[in-house]
Amino acid sequence: MKKAFVFDFDDTLAFTDANVLVYGPQHPWPLTLTPAEFSRYELQDDEYFDFSEFNNPEYILNGKPTKLVQLASDVYNEGHDLFILTARSDSIANAIQEFLSLYGIKATAVHCVGDHGSNVARSKRKVLLTIMESYDKIYFYDDDESNIEAAQEIGVKSYKV
């Protein structure tokens, strides 16, 4: 049986100090949101997000691993394929691979859906459907409930962390 393990990055495999900034005329300075706060924040009509900290590799390389890094290491060492599926942009994929290498892990692929529109759950679901074409069983780990629900709708064994 061919298995794939798919992990979100932020707040699933690593904690970083990167924040989403919110700009708008009602803010004298930008609001700062953690990844968890961002997933719940409702953008007002005159506001916009700034993801520049998430495009900075330094934040990734200085990140702190979560407990799931051990699971990722274990499944990688067992010979299973491991994927990263993140809402970050494509420009950061190499930094994620470098972070993983610090723990003896090499991802089969790093899928970044941050450049694919605002519906992250839908974008992650599309990637999972593509991965499903090549594997008998997929395990998906993410910290966002909407991403977990989108994965479960297509039959992917999913775990909210």
Q: Which SS3 state, helix, strand or coil, does residue 128 take?
A: helix
User: C-alpha angle 149/154/160, rounded to 5°?
Assistant: 30
Q: Which CATH number fits domain 3-15+64-160: 2.60.40.650, 3.40.109.10, 3.40.50.1000, 3.40.50.300?
A: 3.40.50.1000
- Residue ranges of the domains in the chain? 3-15+64-160, 20-57
Q: What is the CA radius of gyration of the chain?
A: 16
Query: Is residue 9 pLDDT above 90, yes or no?
Result: yes
Residue 76's pLDDT is 98
pLDDT one-digit tens code per residue, 135-159: 999 999 999 999 999 999 999 999 9
Q: Which SS3 state, helix, strand or coil, does residue 75 take?
A: helix
- Residue 79: left (phi > 0), alpha (psi -120 to 50), or beta? left
pLDDT one-digit tens code per residue, 32-60: 998 888 878 888 989 998 988 989 999 99
Confidence band, pLDDT 50/70/90 cuts, at residue 117:
low
Considering the chain, what is the average pLDDT of its residues? 94
Least confident span in 45-59, 85-99, 109-123: 109-123
pTM for the model stands at 0.91
Q: If you average pLDDT over residues 101-127, what whole number do you get?
A: 91
CB 84 within 8 A of CB 113: no
